[in-house]
């Protein structure tokens, strides 16, 4: 047996800090009476802040790996982990009032949310099939429980059940692909896999493509790309809105990281094959997402179909296989997560005890009662549609540039066409807010929590700020892939 | 020679008990036959020198999972007659699927890649070789990070299960030990004085 070398624990410091704090939150919460539940929230936010500090403290100038090469900390991991933790802070604070109103203001909610964040961080840093899979399961299991958290809601239980069954199937498909790769190459480590693939391509190309198909299916299921998107609208609608906010924002970043780790870091030699698959997935996602969203009257379902179309754009950025493309996709993913946190944040503000705001009509007259909140939602909608000067425009532009660079102009034209179709339903939301008259007694009312309003305003204004100075974020994305 | 005898004995027992699991009418008997299937599979694994897996199969599956299964089966009110409905109707489809599976497996086993000629005969390990020790050697060293994450996944499962199922119902009756201890004789007992001579039926 070879001598065991003590692994360098320092690169995993953020994860270690987070796990220690999760245990602390879990125990402290036990001794808190219900009226002091706010302390759990405070401690959870402190956990995320401490984790961000730890990430910055250990951030290397170059890529370092540990645990026998199964864990990697590079520029991409640092940026994506900070984005994950930062957005989780927003999610936790936005969802507080909703949780109180629906009697699900419990410590376990935050513990599960933190565990999901930990799972995402492991997916981002995972450099072996085993770690990526375990991170994915940690994320998924926490999400299943969070969706079912409101036990009195039948629709939430149904959504959790659907997500559980379909998610288990997707994990099975991913595992099947992983097992075939292990069978062919004899390694679970992604770096070693990348070294073995060129040789295997000559000996056993069929088995390699076979395994690759399962990996791509697993990834696109977790991202929600067409035709593996069936779960997205039902789960977005069925889950409590605070959980929809979580599912709709942060896991997309982890999904992107998983795609990069598996397809780019491990299987870049098969780029010719997976980019063909991604073209089909991307075009189908853009088409189905944008066209079916037109028919939606439920705002959460509308945002679900909008997510599907945005996933199409992220795949467009990955499929050229160039560094500019990856950087553009990474920028797009982070921007999308920030934008949808504004949209769901506003929707959460509209909820109150005994009233579940989820239809587009619930937004009518929002401008009369709360012009500032309406303006924030309008900014978010314009950013999703890709209207300058919001950041969504720049994100779409950089992805399209990357696609055109590899001479796939037809693909860019299709993407633009579907974006124009998508503009319709984003503008309809704005029209409802500004021009539709609500029923006299149903003017949307908004709770006045100052901290949420300040955070939401900063979050919404950042969309314009990043739109004017995109290089603030784009610089890090380009650095991650150079 | 003796190895081949043990293999064929337990392999045929496995197949027989596995068949009985699906054919027997009583669900309790089916669960018990499943235990037997696990047990004989464990013996086959033992002959493959996978003694750790064999012991785990017996301890975890037979000892814990199947006992839990038996409890569940005994608590559920299963209507066997209703479960048998449509058995004949779906039989052709079931046989078709089974035949396709059989054909696929045969084609794999007799094909080029996985045929018994293509597979090298495994070299037996030395008598003092312990795969429990080998697993332990890498589990807490090479795979320590993955091991820790698996532990966190179990923690999430515990937290999720408790937070999803534990609820305080308003009508549930609880015992209150402090109140029970503080009770005095005067609270519960009333002594009624009666003259015995008046008491006649």
* Nearest chain B residue (CA) to A125: B145
Q: Three-state DSSP class for B112?
A: coil
Asked if A68 and B142 come within 8 Å (Cβ–Cβ), the reply is yes
Phi, psi of A66 (to 5 degrees): -145, 180
Please report residues of B whose CB lies closer than 8 A to that of A70: 145-146
Contacts of A4 in chain B (CB under 8 A): 137, 141-142
What tokens appear for A130 in the block? 């085993």
Which helix (H) or strand (E) covers residue A64, if one does? strand A64-66
Q: Is-contact A349 A373, C-beta < 8 A?
A: yes
**Positive or negative torsion for Cα A467, A468, A470, A472:** negative
pLDDT for A61 equals 84
A148 close contact with B: CB closer than 8 A: yes
Q: Searching chain A, which residue's CA lies closest to the CA of residue B135? A: A1
**Within an 8 Å CB–CB cutoff, is residue A19 touching chain B?**
yes
Confirm or reject contact between A137 and chain B (CB < 8 A).
Answer: yes
Residues of B in contact with A134 (CB under 8 A): 146, 149-150, 153
Q: For A358-390, what is each residue's pLDDT tens digit?
A: 888 888 888 888 889 999 999 999 999 999 889
- What is the pTM assigned to this prediction? 0.87
Interface membership of A114 toward B (CB under 8 Å): no
CB atoms inside a 10 Å sphere around CB A474: 21
8 A C-beta contact, residue A50 and residue A21: yes
Q: What is the 3-state secondary structure (H, E, C) of A157-177?
A: HHHHHHHHHHHHHHHHHHHHH
C-beta of residue A14 within 8 angstroms of C-beta of residue A55: yes
Exposure class string for A266-305: b at 16+ Cβ within 10 A, else e: bbebbbebbbebbbbbbbbbbbbbbebbeebebbbbbbbb
Which residues in chain B show pLDDT less than 70?
Answer: 78-81, 83, 113-116, 118-119, 169-170, 198-201
DSSP summary character for residue B120: P
Interface contact B149, partner A, CB < 8 A = yes
Residue B142 contacts A, CB cutoff 8 Å: yes
Say if A118 is an interface residue toward chain B (CB within 8 Å).
yes
Q: Give the C-alpha distances (Å, rounded to integers) separating A53 from A64, A113, A291, A319, A402.
A: 18, 19, 43, 33, 33
A257 with A119: CB under 8 angstroms? Answer: no
Output the six-digit token pair for A353: 């005890």
Q: Please provide the distance, in angstroms rounded to a whole number, between the alpha carbons at the two ends of chain B.
A: 88
DSSP of A349-363, one letter per residue? HH-BTTB---BGGGG
> In this predicted structure, what is the pLDDT of residue B111?
73
CA dist., res. A428 & res. A417, Å (int): 18
Q: Is A69 helix (H, G, I), strand (E, B) or coil?
A: coil
Q: For strand A64-66 and strand A71-73, is the pairing parallel, antiparallel, or unpaired?
A: antiparallel
Of the candidates A424, A421, A395, the one whose C-alpha atom is nearest the C-alpha of residue A288 is A421
DSSP string, A187-234: --BHHHHHHHHHHHHHH-HHHHHHHHHHHHHHHHHHHT-TTS-THHHH
Residues A237 and A156: their CA atoms lie apart, in Å, by 8
The nearest CA of chain B is from the CA of A179 a distance in Å of: 16
Q: For residue B185, how many C-alpha atoms fall within 13 Å in the half-sphere facing its CB?
A: 1
Could you tell me which of A400, A416, A252, A261 has the C-alpha nearest to residue A317?
A: A400
Q: Which residues of A touch B141 (CB under 8 A)?
A: 4
Residue identified by tokens 């999308």 is A336
Phi, psi at A128, each rounded to 5°: -140, 155
Q: What is the pLDDT along chain A (482 residues), one digit of tens a residue?
A: 456 778 888 899 999 999 999 999 999 998 988 888 889 999 999 999 999 999 999 988 888 888 888 899 999 999 999 999 999 999 999 999 889 888 888 889 999 999 999 999 999 999 999 999 999 999 999 999 999 988 888 899 999 999 999 999 999 999 999 998 998 888 899 989 999 988 888 888 888 888 899 999 999 999 999 889 999 999 999 999 999 999 999 999 999 999 999 999 989 889 999 999 999 999 999 999 999 999 999 999 999 999 999 999 999 999 999 999 999 999 999 999 999 999 999 998 888 777 788 888 888 888 888 889 999 999 999 999 999 889 999 999 999 999 999 999 999 999 999 999 999 999 999 999 899 887 766 666 777 688 888 999 999 999 999 999 998 899 999 988 87
Q: How many CB atoms lie within 10 A of CB A95?
A: 28
Question: Is some CB atom of chain A closer than 8 A to the CB atom of B156?
Answer: yes
Q: Which of A131, A145, A151 minimises the CB distance to B160?
A: A145
- Look at B163 and A106 and tell me if their CB atoms are within 8 Å: yes
Asked if A299 and A363 count as a contact pair (C-beta separation under 8 A), the reply is yes
Q: Tell me the pLDDT tens digit for each residue of B61-113.
A: 888 888 888 888 888 776 666 767 777 888 899 899 999 999 988 887 777 76
Helix (H, G, I), strand (E, B) or coil at B19: helix
Would an 8 Å CB–CB cutoff place B150 in contact with chain A? yes
Of A467, A466, A451, which is closest to residue A94 (Cα–Cα)?
Answer: A451
> Mind telling me how many Å the CA of B141 is from chain A's nearest CA?
7
Min Cα distance A292 → chain B (Å) is: 34
Partner residue opposite A130 with nearest CB, options B146, B160, B167: B146
Q: If you write DSSP's letter for every residue of B99-127 in order, what string do you get? A: HHHHHHHHHHHHSTTTSTTTSPPPPPPPT
User: Is the Cβ pair A7, B144 closer than 8 Å?
Assistant: yes
- ipTM score here? 0.90
B60 Cβ contact list (under 8 Å, min separation 6): none
Taking CA atoms, A187 is separated from A73, A128, A130, A190, in Å, by: 20, 9, 10, 8
């Amino acid at each position: 047996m070879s001598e065991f070398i003590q692994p360098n624990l320092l690169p995993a410091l953020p994860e270690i800090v987070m796990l220690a704090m999760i245990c602390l939150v879990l125990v402290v919460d036990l001794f808190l009476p219900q009226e002091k539940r706010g302390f759990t929230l405070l401690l959870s936010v402190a956990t995320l802040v401490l984790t961000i500090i730890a990430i910055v403290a250990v951030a290397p100038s170059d890529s370092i790996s540990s645990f026998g090469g199964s864990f990697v900390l590079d520029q991409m991991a640092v940026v994506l982990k900070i984005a994950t933790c930062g957005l989780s802070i927003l999610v936790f604070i936005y969802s507080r009032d909703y949780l109180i109103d629906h009697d699900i203001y419990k410590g376990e909610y935050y513990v599960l949310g933190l565990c999901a964040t930990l799972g995402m961080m492991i997916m981002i840093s995972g450099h072996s099939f085993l770690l990526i899979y375990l991170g994915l399961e940690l994320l998924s299991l926490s999400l299943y429980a969070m969706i079912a958290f409101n036990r009195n809601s039948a629709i939430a239980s149904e959504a959790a059940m659907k997500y559980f069954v379909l998610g288990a199937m997707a994990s099975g498909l991913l595992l099947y692909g992983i097992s075939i790769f292990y069978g062919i190459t004899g390694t679970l480590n992604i770096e070693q896999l990348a070294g073995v693939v060129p040789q295997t391509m000559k000996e056993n190309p069929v088995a390699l493509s076979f395994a690759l198909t399962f990996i791509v299916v697993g990834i696109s299921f977790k991202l929600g790309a067409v035709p593996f998107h069936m779960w997205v609208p039902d789960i977005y609608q069925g889950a409590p809105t605070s959980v929809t906010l979580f599912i709709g924002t942060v896991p997309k970043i982890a999904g992107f990281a998983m795609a990069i780790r598996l397809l780019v870091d491990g299987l870049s030699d098969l780029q010719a094959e997976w980019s063909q698959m991604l073209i089909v997935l991307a075009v189908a996602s853009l088409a189905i997402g944008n066209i079916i969203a037109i028919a939606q009257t439920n705002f959460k379902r509308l945002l679900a179909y909008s997510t599907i179309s945005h996933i199409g754009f992220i795949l467009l950025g990955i499929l050229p296989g160039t560094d500019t493309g990856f950087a553009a996709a990474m920028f797009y993913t982070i921007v999308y997560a920030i934008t949808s946190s504004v949209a769901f944040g506003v929707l959460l503000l509209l909820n109150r005890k005994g009233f579940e705001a989820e239809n587009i009509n619930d937004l009518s007259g929002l401008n009369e009662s709360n012009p500032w909140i309406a303006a924030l939602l309008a900014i978010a909608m314009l950013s999703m549609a890709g209207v300058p000067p919001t950041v969504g425009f720049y994100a779409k532009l950089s992805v399209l540039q990357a696609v055109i660079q590899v001479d796939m102009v037809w693909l860019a034209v299709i993407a633009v066409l579907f974006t124009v179709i998508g503009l319709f339903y984003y503008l309809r939301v704005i029209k409802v807010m500004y021009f539709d008259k609500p029923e006299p007694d149903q003017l949307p009312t908004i709770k006045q929590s100052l901290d949420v309003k300040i955070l939401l305003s900063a979050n919404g204004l950042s969309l314009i700020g990043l739109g004017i100075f995109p290089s603030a974020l784009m610089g890090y994305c380009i650095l991650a892939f150079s | 020679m003796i190895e081949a005898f043990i293999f064929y004995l337990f392999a045929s027992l496995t197949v027989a008990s596995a068949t009985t699991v699906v054919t027997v009418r009583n669900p309790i008997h089916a669960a018990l036959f499943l235990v037997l299937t696990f047990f004989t599979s464990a013996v086959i694994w033992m002959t493959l020198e996978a003694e750790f897996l064999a012991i785990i199969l017996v301890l975890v599956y037979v000892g814990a999972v199947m006992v839990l299964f038996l409890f569940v089966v005994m608590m559920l009110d299963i209507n066997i007659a209703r479960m048998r409905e449509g058995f004949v109707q779906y039989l052709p489809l079931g046989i078709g699927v089974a035949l396709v599976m059989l054909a696929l497996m045969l084609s794999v086993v007799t094909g080029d890649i996985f045929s018994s000629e293509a597979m090298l005969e495994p070299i037996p390990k030395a008598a003092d070789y312990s795969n429990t020790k080998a697993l332990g050697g890498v589990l807490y060293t090479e795979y320590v990070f993955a091991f820790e994450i698996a532990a966190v996944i179990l923690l999430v499962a515990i937290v999720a299960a408790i937070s999803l199922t534990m609820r305080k119902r308003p009508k549930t009756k609880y015992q209150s030990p402090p109140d029970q201890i503080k009770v005095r004789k005067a609270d519960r007992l009333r002594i009624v004085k009666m003259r015995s001579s008046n008491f006649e039926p």
